Structure 1
Amino acid sequence: MHARPGLMARLRRLAGPLLSVAMLCLALWALHHLASEVSYREVARYVHGLENYRLALAVLLTAGSYGVMILYDWFGLKYIGKHLPGAQVSLISFISYAFSNALGMALLISGSIRYRFYIQAGLSTAEVAKVVVYTTLSFWLGLSALTGFTLLLVPVPASLPLSGLRIPVGAVLALIPLLWIAGSRLLGRPLRIWRWRVSLPGTLVALRQVLVGAVDWGLAAYVLYLLMPNQVDTGFGHFLAIFVLAQIAGLISHVPGGLGVFEAVMLAGFGAEGNQGLEAPILGALAAYRLIYYFLPLFAATVVVLWREARGLRQKTQLAPWFTALLPPFFAGLTMVSGAVLLFSGATSALPARMAILRDVLPLAVLEVSHFLSSVVGMMLLILARGLQRRLDAAYVLTLVLLVLGAVLSLLKGIDYEEATLLSLLALALAPAHKLFYRRASMFSASFSWGWIIAIVAVLVCAGWLVGFSYKHVEYSNNLWWEFSFYHGGAPRALRALVGAAAAGLLFALASLVRPARPNLSLPGEDDLQRALPLIKNYNSAQAHLALMGDKTLLFDADNRAFIMYDVEGRSWVAMGDPVGEDEDARRELVWTFRDQCERAGGWPLFYQVRQDDLDLYLEVGMNFLKIGEEARVDLSGFNLDGKSKKVLRNTINKLTRDGMRMEIVPADAVAGLMPQLKKISDAWMRDKGVREKGFSLGTFEPRYLERTPMALVYQGEQLVAFANLFLTDNKEEASLDLMRHLPDGTAGVMDFLFISLMQWSKQEGYRWFNLGMAPFSGLQNRRSAPLWSRLGAMLFGRGERFYNFRGLHKYKDKFDPVWEPRYLAVPNGIALPLVFANVASLISGGLSGMVRR
């Protein structure tokens, strides 16, 4: 049951990241071949020689491009009929695109950011999905239109791959947006693609999507066009043809930001036109483009975060939840960028003028040590970025220290005040955010996904390539490692720094391998249940008493302030309900711990039947939600049997009371003596219903379990006819019942009598709520626009009597006038939902055979 995933599953997970690394290595090889005669100093000379007016225009057009990107979200929300404050939409859009443009994986990064914060802004999962689909389609439709019409109108260099297919490729790409615009009128009905039905937008909406996307891409192209050397200016149309092909190659490669792939295609495209000798200026223009179009927005986002944090501290007001939840992944991304900047800086030579100043004020040893340590700090920042994403307190402290240290080292190794400014700004923005990094777990316990590991390796590979590119004129010899000089020591320093960074990463990897093995799952003993009992009794949900069954593993936090109860079926690690405990920090930490434990074991962490008030616990770890039903809770403060709607219940209770029916509450220590009578009733009830014991989310007739809770007994005269064990919280927040059994040939209405009597007793005892339990699939929508899961659940609710009387259960509980509260299944991204549903259903039903039996 706890087996690790097979070899094929691992290979599938590795295929994408490995393909990206392969594409990056291929692009670096192509760049090395195309720029074999180019020196790093020539590239730097072109960048420093760019006119100020061209740089200013490029910055303005970049701002315009990111402004147009906001329209993606603006029109997407308008399309689904939702309105949010403009400042909120603009900030979410800007930060998501600043990250996705710089780091690549646009759909994953920008989509996850939108999901997280639009959910907190009040949108449903289906509405967020529609916005993400709308913006993604706009992005690709605009690129497709711009590429298609450009290829049809403008020739491309014959030496580019597939250049002979320019016309057919251009025609296909141009046809896609045209069909999208005219689709609703041509078809007049939803488009069917395999199993999916796609509702085509109206002509105006589709045209707006294509135009916004095309303008966005056109502005991005013109930024680079302004920076290109005048000698290769053969018109914007010719430039645009090569630009869009290079962008498509970068996007398809899934290399972060298309790094290397985009540059290789651009260099090949312009080099093929007889522009030999201009490789250095072209590379310089591409480097300046990276700085302006990718790096500056990230820098601006850092300033925005710093301003918001400072304003929040000055006004002593808490920042909006949607914004504060964004900060940890935001800081993680910037920390990774900062680490890459330090590594790339260590791989290149410093400016001669700055080195001359250092020679007069610093000993050579200080320069050498600073250069070496700055690259080591860069590698450590790449690693710590994962800890920040996981909200680790230790990662926060170490990152803050290393950012300050990295700023100092940047000044000492070459007066790199640009790097020092970036690192200092990030440190200033990070300093007041300590409360966001609350986890006390060790960095070595943090799990690194294959994608994250490969991203770190890719940065190191790029740094190695930069060393080779920057010092290709230096002939390698073993003596290089031991050369120390102000003017001729650049290559030795870069080599030593690269090895130091690689060694730091390797040491961390080795230390992580020595972490404790994953725990051996076992059912709780009596000591564990006694440890959990105070937490159960003081929790605000009576359903926490299900832990007393002892059929689920208990995961406690380090200080026993909270626990999670869970079981494992296949690859699914299913937690029953939310973490149990009053301490919010402990509950939040347990969600992270549980997820980390599942990832190390190759499993899927799931939280079954979680409440709406606790959704932020799972949003923080990047989980999604599927509504699985509604829970009925009766507000006891207003509960009574008065009124016309309660006439039937009132008459039933009065009649049964006159016939001698009564309820008695028995304390837990007196239940053991009643067990023989209770078992006879339970066996008779199960024979009559033709059912089997379930488990996990429901109690079973297990004497040791029943003896841990009080019991409600219903007598008809002196005969015991029904019973139910009770869940009662010490804080009087909620009362509930679990296992209910009655004699099949007993008096009709006995269950109504039991429920009403328990609610009246609970109200007299001072309880606020009475929990009637969940109605599965209740409240799910079966509209065309609803997600597939919601429509399937609604169908089962209405027509699933063969498996379970879902509608009847909801109708029965509804007659007590409860408050219906939604309950969800929290699931991670990228899992096989059908298999997950089968695993959860198997646990709830007491095994696979129970899924098809009542």
Structure 2
Amino acid sequence: MLCLALFALHLLAREVNYHQVRQYVQSLSHQRLGLAVLFTLAGYAVMTLYDRLALASIGRRLPWRRVGLISFISYAFSNAVGMSLLVSGSIRYRFYLQNGLGNGEIARVVLFCTSSFWLGLLALTGTTLLWVPLPPELPLAGLSQPVGAVLVALPLAWLAGGLIHRPLRIWRWRVTLPSVGTALKQILVGACDWGLAAAVLYVLMPDALNNGFGHFLAIFVIAQIIGLVSHVPGGLGVFEAVMLAGFGATGNAQLTAPILGALAAYRVIYYLLPLCTAALLVLQREAQGWRRKAVLAPWLTGLLPSFFAGLTLVCGAVLLFSGATRALPVRMAILGELLPLSVLEVSHLLASVIGMLLLILARGLQRRLDAAYWLTLVLLLAGAVFSLLKGIDYEEAALMTLLALALAPAHRLFHRRASLFSTSFGVGWIVAIVATLGCAAWLVVFSYKHVDYSADLWWQFSLQHGGAPRALRALVAAVVTGMLFAAASLIRPQKLQRERPDEAELAQVLPLIKQFPSAQAHLALMGDKSLLFDDEHKAFVMFDTIGRSWVAMGDPVGTDEVARRELVWTFLEQCERAGGWPVFYQVSPANLDLYLEVGLNLLKIGEEARVRLQDFNLDGKSRKVLRNTVNKLHREGLRLEILPAEAVAGLLPELRDVSDAWLADKQVREKRFSLGAFDPRYLSRTPLAVAWQDGRLVAFANLLLNDTREEASVDLMRHRPDAPAGIMDFLFVELMQWARAEGYRWFNLGMAPLAGLHSRRHAPWWNRFGAMVFGRGERFYNFRGLQRYKQKFDPQWEPRYMAVPRGIALPMILANVASLIAGGLGGVVRR
């Protein structure tokens, strides 16, 4: 829609040049500008009544100043960004939640304000169309009165609904309509809001269009409705195109240029100034909460890198757009007296190059790169200097300097040491950068459309008449800078290898595994997953790929927190470069910030059972069954032996017999990825617990033990079909007693998939779906039975999560992960 609107705007304004538009803006009197500012202040003051009425309708009272601040911030952002319900609703949710309102109350406030906003617009538009006929040359002008009658009927119906004193039932919701008095206030406040918005533009419009406020209002409200329906931020381009068409300015440069100048001034006064003010208020408010170490700090910490990235992107665009447009003649005359022409030319060129570099560095800031932080600081200050040297553009210099001052104390937020060339640029970022360059190119053409372009133009250097050559050289330099960066990124070698690890790599990860508190890290020794190390080999991620899903098993393994955090970013960027979906499966609550920081979503996938060994014993009535089982098997000659990894190789033939018999008896096949499989090399890397009965091996389990004595666990537990009943209980009890004697703190019984998910009304859809599968999916997996079995050891249940990208790819990711664990799609539907 934005592209179509800009194309239409280009066609409507093709006879106008930049100089004409700027000349009209400069000719606006201080009286007109003052009136526009005054009407803007009055309009935003009226907007606070939306929230006042909404709070009164739900029986809540807040101080006027606090309500006014929330209302101003929400409307300043939603007017400029677009999608009012989403943007203003999100801002209201954040601030009203801090003021003690519940979710339901906030939802009612948002709906009340949104309905008031539209009721006022519809009432004003309908009344205007009935009262003032549209110009006949406009499309569908003959239908203006029928359309106006329909639009007026909607607010009238809302008023009539106030006479109904009982709630309306719409599907499963009950809607209580406001009283007639409240509904009338909604409509009047909304109409007054839009009337003041129209007045801001009306006082800026040229005198040649002075056909009365009613005629102007009819075109204004139609243009606003079309802009809102388009969902383009602020109706940019759409609103302007409709206004030009509505006033018949097509082909008339004497009329089009003043209208575009008035619209530009209107954008600055009504949209940009309130947006900047609201942004400063938000920063001040959050900074105060940060200093008090309130609950706002984590939210602000997560938001600031992206916020700085957005501002850096804006600063880069400002430098590019400035380099593409004419400088003010008065300022150029002053520069000509102070500086040689060569300094001005070089400054103009370098300012645009810096603008292009800031567009690129914005992505690095979003990725929290330390190098991007320092380069951005330097380039912002350099951009401020060159802005002054190329045209005394102190407005741009002030913007760059303010951003540099705001960025300077935030170094700790940019902690990553990765290379900027390794940062992936998604489609959205590429489109944003290319679109900015495209707009800069269009500005060059628009600003110098009457220049006779030739090859000699590139080599013309002049103070007063060299604007077009300077703009062309600056634009080409910016494009070349972007292309060089893209080429350097493309030829950079890829680090991520998907080959299975060799014995040397497995030997290298063993010390990291032994020092890691979670025994789950031993799954890397299976050798079926690829390994991604950090640059200094202080941590690693084990992962496998299936389809487009790149699935990491568990958290990054290592004791160096900086290296583990950097690995998450590296894995994410390598996946993006390969076009894959990054997934972290079965991660612990202690590490959730690693995944939230990179923008992944978290799904609870079950709970892990961990037994505190110092509290475990067989005493008491609740352990009677376990105690009797273990004592009975001891009497039958069953004994447990712990073998070191070096002694496992000699028992492999007997172990395979036990494993094959177990698989055949259970009618299952080997799982993989999140569980170990019978692999002689894997079993030979870990100690083994072996159960003997009369000299015959009847069961075994490989042990996962770390040197920190934090946690012990098992992976494969298999027994012969004719083993004594209760053999699994015997193994677990004996192993836990052995681990306690060895000084281990916890014994990990493994995860119960989908346990702990609840099918409640307000629960996320994933929780409800998982709870349904947990309760009814016994055909495919023994969900309930597994949880009940582990519960007999009285464990502590800890949630486990899966970190996945946001978006619509989740069903495919879930299918890929299930297939990966089951060893193929066939294993998903079979035991």
TM-score range, shorter chain: 0.7 to 0.9
8 Å CA contact 1:28–1:465 kept in 2: the answer is: no
- Structure 2 residue runs without a partner (length 5+): none
Aligned twin of 2:390: 413
Q: Say whether residues 1:621 and 2:571 are aligned partners.
A: no
Distance 1:210 1:620 in 2: 46
Q: Say whether residues 1:467 and 2:467 are aligned partners.
A: no
Change in 2 beyond 3 A, CA 1:224/1:304: same
1:42 to 23, 26, 44: 23
Post-superposition CA distance 1:228-257 (Å, at most 9, x none): 326457777765654454445445656555
Post-superposition CA distance 1:49-74 (Å, at most 9, x none): 46463354356357658978999999
Change in 2 beyond 3 A, CA 1:356/1:138: farther
1:284 to 234, 239, 261: 261
Post-superposition CA distance 1:65-104 (Å, at most 9, x none): 897899999999x99x9xx999999999988987776566
Matches of residues 640-719 of structure 1 in structure 2 within 5 Å? Answer: 640-719=617-696
- The farther-off stretch of 66-75 and 551-560 is 66-75
2:504 to 502, 523, 527: 527
Aligned twin of 1:331: 308
Change in 2 beyond 3 A, CA 1:360/1:727: same
Secondary structure at 1:154's aligned position in 2?
A: helix
8 Å CA contact 2:384–2:396 kept in 1: the answer is: yes
Q: Say whether residues 1:53 and 2:34 are aligned partners.
A: yes
What TM-score do the two structures reach when normalised by structure 2? 0.86
Aligned twin of 1:225: 199
Aligned twin of 1:455: 432
Q: Say whether residues 1:152 and 2:126 are aligned partners.
A: yes
Aligned twin of 1:7: none
Secondary structure at 2:550's aligned position in 1?
A: strand
Distance 2:184 2:772 in 1: 37
8 Å CA contact 2:25–2:265 kept in 1: the answer is: no
Change in 2 beyond 3 A, CA 1:459/1:168: farther
Matches of residues 19-38 of structure 1 in structure 2 within 5 Å? Answer: 20=2, 22-23=3-4, 25-33=6-14, 35=16
Change in 2 beyond 3 A, CA 1:429/1:805: same
Aligned twin of 2:529: 552
Distance 2:723 2:66 in 1: 61
Matches of residues 285-434 of structure 1 in structure 2 within 5 Å? Answer: 285-296=262-273, 299-300=276-277, 303=280, 320-434=297-411
8 Å CA contact 1:535–1:581 kept in 2: the answer is: yes
Change in 2 beyond 3 A, CA 1:737/1:337: same
Distance 2:183 2:693 in 1: 71
1:590 to 564, 567, 579: 567
By how many angstroms is 1:769 displaced? 2.1
By how many angstroms is 1:826 displaced? 1.5
Matches of residues 226-265 of structure 1 in structure 2 within 5 Å? Answer: 226-228=200-202, 229=204, 231=207, 232=209, 242-247=219-224, 249-250=226-227, 257-265=234-242
By how many angstroms is 1:741 displaced? 0.8
By how many angstroms is 1:224 displaced? 5.8
Secondary structure at 2:425's aligned position in 1?
A: coil
Post-superposition CA distance 1:525-556 (Å, at most 9, x none): 11121222122111221111111111111111
Distance 1:263 1:682 in 2: 75
Change in 2 beyond 3 A, CA 1:60/1:368: same
By how many angstroms is 1:698 displaced? 0.7
Secondary structure at 1:731's aligned position in 2?
A: coil
Aligned twin of 1:3: none
Post-superposition CA distance 1:751-801 (Å, at most 9, x none): 122222222222232222222111111122223333332222111111111
Q: Say whether residues 1:635 and 2:612 are aligned partners.
A: yes
Change in 2 beyond 3 A, CA 1:818/1:684: same
Change in 2 beyond 3 A, CA 1:150/1:676: same
Q: Give the aligned residue type for 1:571.
A: R
Q: Give the aligned residue type for 1:542.
A: A
8 Å CA contact 1:38–1:279 kept in 2: the answer is: no
Matches of residues 134-283 of structure 1 in structure 2 within 5 Å? Answer: 144-155=118-129, 156-161=134-139, 188=169, 190=171, 199=173, 202-203=176-177, 219=193, 222-223=196-197, 225-228=199-202, 229=204, 231=207, 232=209, 242-247=219-224, 249-250=226-227, 257-271=234-248, 277-283=254-260
Distance 1:578 1:213 in 2: 55
1:780 to 725, 733, 757: 757
Distance 1:210 1:518 in 2: 65
Compare relative contact order (CA 8 Å, sep 6+) and give the higher one, 1 or 2. Answer: 1
Q: Say whether residues 1:442 and 2:423 are aligned partners.
A: no
Q: Give the aligned residue type for 1:435.
A: R
Q: Give the aligned residue type for 1:704.
A: R
8 Å CA contact 2:52–2:67 kept in 1: the answer is: no
1:767 to 744, 748, 754: 744
Q: Give the aligned residue type for 1:401.
A: V
Change in 2 beyond 3 A, CA 1:234/1:546: farther
8 Å CA contact 1:302–1:426 kept in 2: the answer is: no
8 Å CA contact 2:168–2:175 kept in 1: the answer is: no
Distance 2:84 2:324 in 1: 28
Q: Give the aligned residue type for 1:426.
A: L
8 Å CA contact 2:121–2:194 kept in 1: the answer is: no
Q: Give the aligned residue type for 1:32.
A: A
Aligned twin of 1:738: 715
Secondary structure at 1:646's aligned position in 2?
A: helix
Change in 2 beyond 3 A, CA 1:64/1:811: farther
By how many angstroms is 1:703 displaced? 1.0
Distance 1:86 1:685 in 2: 73
8 Å CA contact 1:309–1:429 kept in 2: the answer is: no
Distance 2:510 2:451 in 1: 71
Secondary structure at 1:730's aligned position in 2?
A: coil
Distance 2:315 2:806 in 1: 27
Distance 1:92 1:823 in 2: 37
Distance 1:89 1:519 in 2: 52
Cα RMSD over matched residues?
A: 4.5
Distance 2:71 2:708 in 1: 44
Secondary structure at 1:39's aligned position in 2?
A: helix
Change in 2 beyond 3 A, CA 1:626/1:517: same
Aligned twin of 1:540: 517
By how many angstroms is 1:839 displaced? 1.0
Distance 2:67 2:552 in 1: 34
Aligned twin of 1:727: 704
8 Å CA contact 2:16–2:253 kept in 1: the answer is: no
Post-superposition CA distance 1:774-831 (Å, at most 9, x none): 1111122223333332222111111111111111111111222222222222211233
Q: Give the aligned residue type for 1:607.
A: F
Post-superposition CA distance 1:382-415 (Å, at most 9, x none): 1211121122222212111110011111111222
- The farther-off stretch of 677-686 and 98-107 is 98-107
Distance 2:236 2:373 in 1: 28
Distance 1:97 1:576 in 2: 44
Secondary structure at 1:755's aligned position in 2?
A: helix
By how many angstroms is 1:486 displaced? 2.7
Distance 1:698 1:210 in 2: 65
Distance 1:611 1:638 in 2: 23
Identity fraction in percent: 62
- The farther-off stretch of 792-801 and 662-671 is 662-671
8 Å CA contact 1:735–1:771 kept in 2: the answer is: yes
- Structure 1 residue runs without a partner (length 5+): 1-18, 192-198
